[in-house]
A and B are shown apart, each in its own frame.
Chain A
Amino acid sequence: MPDFKTRFHNARIRLLRRSSVAPAAESKLPKAAAILPQLRPSASMGKLSSAITTRPTGDSASDSSHSNLDKQKPAVSLLLEHELRHPSAETVVDSQILLPPSAPGSLSSTDLHARHHDDSTPVSDLQLSSESNVTSETREITPVVTLQEPSPSVPTAMTPTHRKIWVKRPHASATLVQIKTDDLVDDVRDMILRKYANSLGRSFDSPDVTLRILPREHNQKSQDRTLGPEEEICRVLDATFPGGQTVEEALIIDVPHKRTPKPSPRVASHHGYYDQETARPLENGGEYFPPMPPVLIPSPAGGSTVSHESRSSHPERSMTVLGTGYLPPLPSPGGERKRTHSHRPKIGRHHTSSPTTMAANAISNSSIRPRGQRHDSSHSDAMQHAAPATAQPLPTPPAPVEPVKPAASTPPIPRVSSPRPGMKGRKRTKAGKDGVDGSHSLSSGLLDNAVPPINVLIVEDNMINLRVLGAFMERLKVRWQRAMNGREAVTKWRAGGFHLVLMDIQLPIMNGLEATKEIRRLERVNSIGVFSSASSVAPTMGPEGERGELVEADRLGDGGLFKSPVIIVALTASSLQSDRHEALAAGCNDFLTKPVNFLWLEQKIKEWGCMQALIDFDGWRKWKDFAAQSDSFKGKGKAGMGRDKKSSALKKLVEEGAESSSTTTTTGHETGHDKGDSSAS
């Protein structure tokens, strides 16, 4: 008996290891481990083991049960009859019927093939192929075993009565599923997957499915309950619904959120790797739907599962994770521009009834769907290419603290939902225009105010774009300056204090790529972003050994203003891949495609800001203090003031605050003036 248990266990482990069903693989192991002990005491398992121990050849239960089966013709007919009532034994029975009992060897191997397509699988695997099947499988075996040696406990298992229960998916219509009276919830899951062969069965395994039961009395405290896999379904149903379950009381089937991402080009491109795997039918496909052709899901084997999976669903997060350690809620769009046309939700807009509702629909549609789907900020490739670019050495620890002006004058508001600029925000703007909360609500829809205090240089030759981007920066309460060409960009950058440069590529006088290269060159010769020790040890870091020959003209001013290499983001309206590569090669960290998706830009600014906050922790802390201070100022702000007036008044207050607590506020003031100038123009 211990021997059997060990084999049982080993076989299971082996199977689970081999199992390469991508989505389930990670979750399966722990679950299986948890379920296994629960199964042991269950009725059918208990019967099986008792049946086995009474047998003389108890060393391998499954082997012997099969050899016995082969010899015994009556077993087949009994199994057949049994199968009609309980279809989960299909494979076993089919092969047994088709093959003459005189060929025991081929019988068991065919049986195996049907399930595993793997000759090396020991027979004991057959019954243990998946934890979800264990109970039903063992039940199939039980009658076979007991044919030879009837035991008093078996007849009840042999003739389980059937009943049907109602199940439904959330907000869908209910359907009946046939179960046996002694089935566990776990068995029911199998049956459900069979019933929902297309919608669920193709992408979910039965352990993924959870069942919820809704008690009859719909008061608050008796909320719906999730059924454990080990519960006996009939007992639960009878207890919960005395007198029988009605359609309305159907169990609710829950599955995890879509785990198989829609096939994307990226996934498709991986098919090459998967071919070997996919050519072999998936084991699960064979188990749940034996007669059906297996569902081919590209599933990398074993350990690579997780990484592939995450890569295919979130192809471009590498930098994000590196940079900030958290994943942005926004799935970053890919770089295909063409799709913008076909994806715009126009149909929804046109065919609704009245003008008012139509408009309402239109707004909500247009504000929600295209944002998710738009592909303008096509940074997916950029992110992957940018990762190495950003992996520059971290800068020296901050020595003179850069004067940081409080950029935000409103307190951080915990973000409730998405920061998408929506109608709500605008409505509130209007409503709260005269109230104290005017500027507050203005930003809360689009921004939460946790945008760190970064200083942005926008390099754009097109006034329209410059003003739009500038206005957006104002709304983010981010300091910014402008440059109209590459030369000016370099000059302004040399003044120091910038964290982020949004660089248009095609510019007059000096184009964005040249400007980027120049900035990177200057950073290199000034050892910005190189640990001071490293710079003395390794004096020839630049390709031309420029380090040693720092020309006076190239010397940058106050080192405190250049704590780290500036982040340069190329802005391009080009959809050409080559342009992007060129931008990255020139030293840009990233690129944005015009039209810039503001939501994306905001998130990026936050990420970059957070990076800078890490680099310049003292500065960031100061900023936090200012932000807190400005809150108290804000409280004193006069009600009834127009938003612009008020915010400028706030700015003033904040600047005063900065002046009082910081020794140097020149940067802040300059920026403030500059900002005023540019917004006035």
Chain B
Amino acid sequence: MAPEELHVEATLIKKAGDALDYATFEQILQMDDDEDEREFSREIVFDFFQQAESTFKNMDTALGERDLEELSSLGHFLKGSSATLGLTKVKDSCEKIQHIGSRKDETGSHDELDDDKSLEKLDGIIKQTKKDFEVIEKLMREFYEA
């Protein structure tokens, strides 16, 4: 185990903080056959980036069309993969998108009947999700390029 590699992992953990559940992400890393190449996890992570980008695009479209159901479904979709990678913040935001899209409050426990309110909330949360995503994306890229 090269020391710089440890360093890379530690840096990721440190910088990501709350945004990353390293224990979960580590599960993915452990499926790599080669720790230098990190072929498997790299592919998964970078595919996730693509998936996220396109999902965000779809979210924007759905937001324009005031399609709450679609937003909820998109939120759920991205929630699943971000959870698998341990991207906690993205996952939590996606869950909120899912709940609000299904005409509930953020936590999914109360109904929200006013669509305008929901859409307004969604607009803010999607923006926040994108920001969270960009942060973790940058860190991940650093991690894999190191």
**Residues 453 to 490 of chain A near chain B (Cβ within 8 Å):** 460-465, 467-468, 471-472, 475
Interface membership of A322, Cβ < 8 A = no
The complex places the Cα of A303 from the Cα of B80 at a distance, in Å, of 46
Q: Sort chain A's interface into a size bin.
A: 35 or more
A371 and B23 contact, Cβ closer than 8 Å, known pairs A366-B13, A464-B81: yes
The answer to whether B84 and A468 touch across the interface, beta carbons within 8 angstroms, is: yes
Residue pair B24, A595 in contact (C-beta under 8 Å) = yes
Q: Which residue of B lies closest to A442 (CB)?
A: B33
Nearest CB of chain A from residue B119's CB, rounded to whole Å: 21
Is the pair B80, A472 in contact by a Cβ cutoff of 8 Å? no
On whether the beta carbons of A463 and B51 are closer than 8 Å, the reply is yes
Contacts of A7 in B (CB 8 A): none
* In the complex, chain A residues whose CB is within 8 Å of the CB of B47: 463-464, 467
Please tell me if the beta carbons of A367 and B26 are within 8 angstroms of each other in the complex.
Answer: yes
Once the chains are docked, how many angstroms separate the CA of A356 from the CA of B26? 18
In angstroms, how far is the closest chain A Cβ from the Cβ of B28? 6
The stretch of A78-86, A293-301, A343-351 in contact with B is A343-351
Q: Which residues of A contact B56 (CB under 8 A)?
A: none
Which chain A residues (380-396) contact chain B, with CB distance < 8 Å? none
Q: Is A376 an interface residue (CB 8 A)?
A: yes
CB distance from B8 to the nearest CB of A (A): 8
Q: Is the CB of A433 within 8 A of B76?
A: no
Question: When chains A and B are docked, how far (Å) is the Cα of A426 from the Cα of B24?
Answer: 16
Given the known interface contacts A370-B22, A376-B24, A463-B47, the answer about A595 and B13 at a Cβ–Cβ threshold of 8 Å is no
Report the separation of the CA atoms of residues A405 and B1 in the bound assembly, to the nearest whole angstrom: 37
Query: Contacts of A362 on B, CB cut-off 8 Å?
Result: 9-10, 13-14
- Cβ of B27 under 8 Å from chain A: yes
Q: Is the CB of A374 within 8 A of B31?
A: no
Check B13 against A573 for contact (C-beta < 8 Å): no
Kindly state whether residue B44 has any CB partner on chain A within 8 Å: yes
Check B40 for interface membership: any CB of A closer than 8 A: yes
A430 pairs with B34, CB closer than 8 A: yes
Please, how many angstroms separate the alpha-carbon atoms of A472 and B31 in the complex?
7
Q: Which residues of A contact B33 (CB under 8 A)?
A: 429, 433, 442, 643-644
- Determine if A655 is an interface residue (Cβ-Cβ < 8 Å): no
* Segment 430-460 of A: residues with Cβ below 8 Å from B: 430, 433, 442, 446, 460
Give a binary string over B10-40; 1 marks a CB under 8 Å from any A CB, 0 the rest.
1001100110011110111011111100001
Q: Does the CB pair B84–A595 fall under 8 Å?
A: yes
User: In the complex the two chains form, what is the Cα distance from A356 to B35 in whole Å?
Assistant: 17
Contact bitstring A633-654, B, C-beta under 8 A = 1, else 0: 0000000000110000000000
Are B13 and A423 neighbours in the complex by a CB distance under 8 Å? no
Residue of A340, A346, A426, A596 touching B84 (CB-CB under 8 A): A596
B83: shortest Cβ distance to chain A, in Å?
4
Which of these, B7, B24, B73, B109, contacts A359 with CB under 8 Å?
B7
**B106 CB contacts on chain A under 8 angstroms:** none
Q: For residues 383 through 436 of chain A, which have their beta carbon under 8 Å from a beta carbon of chain B?
A: 421, 423, 425-427, 429-430, 433
Q: Does A594 contact B (CB under 8 A)?
A: yes
Q: Mark B71-113, 1 if CB is under 8 A from A, else 0.
A: 0010011011101111010010001000000000000110000
The answer to whether B80 and A462 touch across the interface, beta carbons within 8 angstroms, is: yes
Tell me the bound Cα distance from A433 to B13 in angstroms: 27
Q: Is A506 an interface residue (CB 8 A)?
A: yes
- The CB with the most chain B CB atoms within 10 A, among A358, A506, A573, A643, is that of A573
Residues in B with CB closer than 8 Å to A462 are 51, 77, 80-81, 84
Q: Which residues of the partner chain A approach B48 to less than 8 Å between Cβ atoms?
A: 464
- Check B3 for interface membership: any CB of A closer than 8 A: yes
| A340 to chain B: closest residue by CB | B21
Min C-beta distance of A143 to chain B, whole Å:
63
Task: Indicate if the CB atoms of B1 and A594 lie closer than 8 Å.
Answer: no
Shortest distance between the CB of B22 and any CB in chain A (Å): 5
Quick check: is A283 within 8 A (CB to CB) of the other chain?
Answer: no
Alpha-carbon distance A498/B33, docked complex (angstroms):
28
Q: List 13 A-B pairs, Cβ < 8 Å.
A: A340-B21, A356-B3, A366-B23, A374-B23, A425-B30, A426-B32, A462-B80, A462-B81, A463-B51, A472-B31, A475-B31, A573-B80, A643-B33
- Which B residues are closer than 8 A to A by beta carbons? 1, 3, 6-7, 9-10, 13-14, 17-18, 21-24, 26-28, 30-35, 40, 44, 47-48, 51, 73, 76-77, 79-81, 83-86, 88, 91, 95, 108-109
